[in-house]
Amino acid sequence: MPLKADKTRLQQQPAPEMRTGASGDQGFFNHERARLLIHAVKTALAAALCWELALLFGLHDGYWGSISAIIVLQSNVGATVTASRDRMLGTLIGALLGFGFSLFGPVLLSYMLALLVAVVACGLMGLRNSSRLACVTITIVMLVRREGSHWGLAMDRVGQVILGIVVALAVTTLVLPDRARLRLRDGLAAEFVALGALFDAIFEGFRGAMAENLPALREDVEAMLRGNDELLEAARNEPSGEGWREGLSLLAEFGRSLFEVLLALELSVKDSQENAYAQQLEPALGRLAADVHDGFRYVAACIHSWRFDEAPQGINLDQDIANLESRMDEFRHTGRQFAQAEILRAYAVQLHLKQIARLLRASRVETSRAVGGGKQLAG
In CATH, what number is assigned to the domain containing residue 295? 1.20.58
- Tell whether 80 is covered by a domain: yes
Q: Is the pLDDT of residue 378 over 50?
A: no
CA 245 – CA 179 distance, rounded (Å): 13
Please check whether residues 189 and 167 belong to one and the same domain.
no
Final residue of a domain: which of 174, 196, 231? 174
- Summarize the confidence of residues 174-190 as an average pLDDT: 90
Establish if 149 belongs to a structural domain: yes
Whether the full predicted model's pTM is greater than 0.95, yes or no, is no
- 8 Å CB contact between 83 and 71: yes
Residues contacting 276, CB < 8 A, separation 6+: 338, 342
pLDDT at 200: 92
Whether residues 167 and 128 share a domain: the answer is yes
The answer to whether residue 379 scores a pLDDT higher than 80 is no
Phi, psi (rounded to 5 degrees) for 357: -60, -45
**3-class state of residue 126 by DSSP:** coil
Asked whether the beta carbons of 81 and 169 are under 8 A apart, the reply is yes
- With contact defined as beta carbons under 8 Å apart, do 291 and 320 qualify? yes
Which of residues 174, 200, 215 is at a domain's end?
A: 174
| Same domain (yes/no): 166, 211 | no
C-alpha to C-alpha distances, 281 to 6, 202, 286, 291, 294, nearest whole angstrom: 15, 19, 8, 16, 20
Q: What is the pLDDT of residue 334?
A: 65
Q: Does residue 192 sit in the same domain as residue 162?
A: no
Q: Which domain holds residue 263?
A: 179-371
Percent of the chain topping pLDDT 90 = 43
Question: Looking at 121-125, 135-139, 341-345, which range is the least confident one?
Answer: 341-345
Total tally of structural domains belonging to the chain: 2
310 and 291 in a single domain? The answer is yes
- C-beta of residue 157 within 8 angstroms of C-beta of residue 91: yes
Q: Are residues 146 and 244 in the same domain?
A: no
Last residue of a domain, one of 155, 174, 193: 174
The predicted structure's pLDDT at residue 82: 87
State the pLDDT at residue 331: 74
Same-domain pairing of 196 and 151: no
